[in-house]
Amino acid sequence: MRKVVLALLIVTMVVGGAYAQKVYKVGVSMPSATHGWMGNANWWAQRAKSDWEKRDKAVQIELKFSGNVNQQVADIEDLLVKKVDALVVFPHDTSVTSIVEKAYNAGVYVVVLDRGVSKEGIYDIYITNDDEAYTRKGMEWLAKQMGYKGNLLLITGIPSPIDTIRTDTIKEVVKKYPNIKLLDVQPGDWNRQKSLTVMENYLQKYKQIDAVYTADDDMMLGAMQAYKESGRKDIKFFLGGGCLKSVIKEIMDDSNPLVKADVTYSPSVIATSISYGVIGVKGEKLNPNIYQVRALPRRIILPSELVTRENAKDFYVPEAPF
């Protein structure tokens, strides 16, 4: 069984009991597809909507994709006007905290995922991938490949709680190995083009680079493009994360000497979150015979795994858009 299909374990399960006649409105607000990982997340959201509405006529799901945080706040306001019963929010950043709190205080069942909000206790469930393990596993692997020495560059994402966890964890691991020098840390905003520009500046500034860690496949591809166009030959390793289809295929085929591993950070987290929102607002419980859980937890952390050639096939999703 493919390990990446975390969401469908919930979407396809059978929940006991007859459904009431009430129609449950679930609103979903998330960023639009500005990069490959988010494109996959958008695809998973659409798949979850389709699956739920096919199997349960009492569920109506409205998806709203926004290009910036101001639009996201407006989208959530619109969903509240429509009197949704549940709200699933994948924030652009923590600027959505006030509107999320408004929804929660109004009695809406709230699920927040991934980038989080800046205030505790204003949601029913918070769900995310394990950002600490995600970058710890990645950095430990990269340090080993480097022989625990050499010059490292880091490209980070959009300032947010999860990016802070990732960056702090990477720095913590690097401190264990005094012969690894972290030359610089600059944001790439989880954007391929911006990361290309950041990498171009790095290449002008630093004459010897041994490895680049971006903790994101889109940023890695942008940085790697800049490196290849430079004609330099000093960098031995690039490490991203998030398991874009093209990256996993390269690892499976051993076709790119610069990319030998990845770390899971499944975009299916949005489908899992939608499923928890539906189940939670309907007052249902997970099947204890399958999950050994009798009620929905308030905080859910999904595990991360290191992907190498040996297990890459388990994480390859050919039907995903990216």
Domain annotation covers residue 1? no
Same domain, 221 and 140: yes
Same domain, 165 and 288: no
Same domain, 21 and 51: yes
Domain annotation covers residue 318? no
Domain that holds residue 74: 6-129+266-309
Same domain, 138 and 254: yes
Same domain, 149 and 255: yes
Same domain, 80 and 184: no
pLDDT in the model for residue 12 = 42
Q: With the C-alpha atoms ordered 137, 138, 139, 140, is the resulting torsion angle positive or negative?
A: positive
pLDDT in the model for residue 290 = 39
Which residue from 84, 87, 114, 113 is spatially nearest to 101, judged by alpha carbons? Answer: 87
Burial 53-71 (b: 16+ CB within 10 A, else e): eeeeeebbbebbbbeeeeb
Same domain, 257 and 298: no
Q: pTM higher than 0.85, yes or no?
A: no
Are 130 and 263 within 8 A, CB to CB? no
Cα–Cα distance for residue pair 81/34, rounded to 1 Å: 27
Cα–Cα distance for residue pair 41/129, rounded to 1 Å: 13
Same domain, 190 and 248: yes
pLDDT one-digit tens code per residue, 37-81: 899 999 999 999 999 999 999 999 999 999 999 999 999 999 999
Question: What is the residue type of 106?
Answer: A
Per run of 10 residues, the mean pLDDT along the chain (length 322 residues) is 41 44 94 89 96 95 97 98 98 95 97 89 93 97 99 95 94 98 97 98 99 97 98 98 96 98 94 94 63 65 96 93 88
Same domain, 73 and 115: yes
Cα–Cα distance for residue pair 1/37, rounded to 1 Å: 22
Same domain, 198 and 291: no
Q: Dihedral angle at the C-alpha atoms of 8, 127, 31, 168, nearest 10 degrees?
A: -130
Q: How many CA atoms lie within 13 A of 96 on its CB side?
A: 35
Domain count, the chain: 2
What CATH number is attached to the domain comprising 220? 3.40.50.2300
Helices (H), 56-160: 69-81, 97-105, 131-145
